[in-house]
Amino acid sequence: MSVIGVDAGGTLTKIVYEENGALHFKTFSSEQQVLQWLGILAQNHKLYITGGKAEKWRGIFPHAHIVGEFEAVCSGAKLLLKEEKTDLKQFTLINIGTGTSFFKVDENGCERLLGSGLGGGTFMGLGGLLTGESDYYELVRLSKEGKRELVDLSVRDVYEAMNSPVPDHLTAANFAKGDAFSKKADKLRALTNMIAETIILLASQASQAHKLEDFVFIGSTLKSNPALKEDLSQFQDMLSYTPIFPEKGAYAGSLGAFDVGRGSEHSQNRQ
């Protein structure tokens, strides 16, 4: 029997399944749509579910198997790196979902280091409050077009003609120049940058003790989001890290659940 890997997140549902020897990846924003879709396929597939809503979904699909979220994310990330022929022995894994989790991954396994409430939920929620927009792709489009220096106070603004003790392009205060006349795009780029700055600072602090220099970013908030990727990459010279963005990083959780399920089913079939 075939397997479907499901990442039932707080905002989006990501699915991985195999058909005709190839993996397929789907994203649903509507819970009703994905439940209808799965209701049909679940008759001939076994569901392996991870994510914040996994237990809720098992109430709907009682024969589904629950996969621990951290296990699924780490397993999926390793598979994505292997698929892209990126050979890393150890790295910091940063999963930007509704919030953000940070993991140490090495040959001994995967260990969660810390987490933050800033992530995709912040981008959607605060982004909506700032602009009145609610569509993810519209928020991403506006962010890409915005200029955060029109909203953020930079070190350059503070020191003006004086020599600053730190690089003058850094943020002195997020949103300090924003007002009622600030454009939607500029506010969204400032928000994207604030999220990225916080994530990089936390990742850097968490990684120093373990001497990890490669940062692997996954999670649905990175999907079609060039502004966030750019802002996450802006501190390389200062903090000495290498950002890596697997192409299908949004599906790490669902791919990991799928892989656990596939291994389990193969093991049972051999018995």
Q: According to the model, what pLDDT value does residue 201 have?
A: 95
Residue range 220-225: mean pLDDT, rounded: 91
Q: Domain tally for the chain?
A: 2
**Whether residue 238 sits in one domain with residue 116:** yes
On whether both 170 and 107 belong to a single domain, the answer is yes
Residue 180 burial (C-beta neighbours within 10 Å; 0-12, 13-18, 19+): exposed
Confidence of residue 244 (pLDDT cuts 50, 70, 90): very high
Condensed to tens digits (0 to 9), the pLDDT of residues 131-163 reads 999 999 999 999 999 999 999 999 888 887 677
Please check whether residues 101 and 59 belong to one and the same domain. no
Identify whether the C-beta of residue 169 lies closer than 8 Å to the C-beta of residue 155. Answer: yes
Structure tokens that stand for 203 in this block: 């990742």
Task: Compute the distance between CA of residue 94 and CA of residue 203 in angstroms, rounded to an integer.
Answer: 8
Is 68 found in the same domain as 92?
A: no
**Same domain? 136 vs 70:** no
Please report, for the domain that includes residue 11, its CATH number: 3.30.420.40
Choose between 38 and 266: higher pLDDT: 38
pLDDT in tens, 158-191: 887 677 777 778 899 999 999 999 999 999 999 9
Q: Check whether residue 233 and residue 193 sit in a common domain.
A: yes
Same domain for 76 and 97, yes or no, is no
pLDDT of 231 reads 97
131 to 10, 84, 173, 236: CA distances (angstroms): 22, 37, 20, 31
Task: For residue 54, give its domain range.
Answer: 2-80+252-270
Q: What pLDDT score does 266 carry?
A: 62
How is residue 106 written in tokens? 């090495």
pLDDT given at position 161:
67
- Verify that 258 and 238 share a domain, yes or no: no
Q: Does one domain contain both 15 and 70?
A: yes
Residues 102 and 193 grouped into a single domain: yes
Higher local confidence (pLDDT), 57 or 268: 57
* Cβ–Cβ under 8 Å, residues 192 and 143: yes
Verify whether residue 69 is a known catalytic residue.
yes
Q: What is the pLDDT of residue 193?
A: 97
Q: What is the mean pLDDT of residues 32-50?
A: 80
- In percent, the amount of the chain with pLDDT more than 90 equals 63
Residue 79 has pLDDT above 90, yes or no: yes
Which segment of 16-20, 28-32, 50-54, 222-226 scores lowest on mean pLDDT?
28-32
Which tokens sit at 58? 């098992």
Across the range 11-36, mean pLDDT stands at 84
> pTM for the whole thing?
0.91
Average pLDDT on 37-66 reads 83
Q: Are residues 241 and 259 in the same domain?
A: no
Are 125 and 217 in the same domain? yes
Catalytic residue among 19, 69, 71, 145: 69
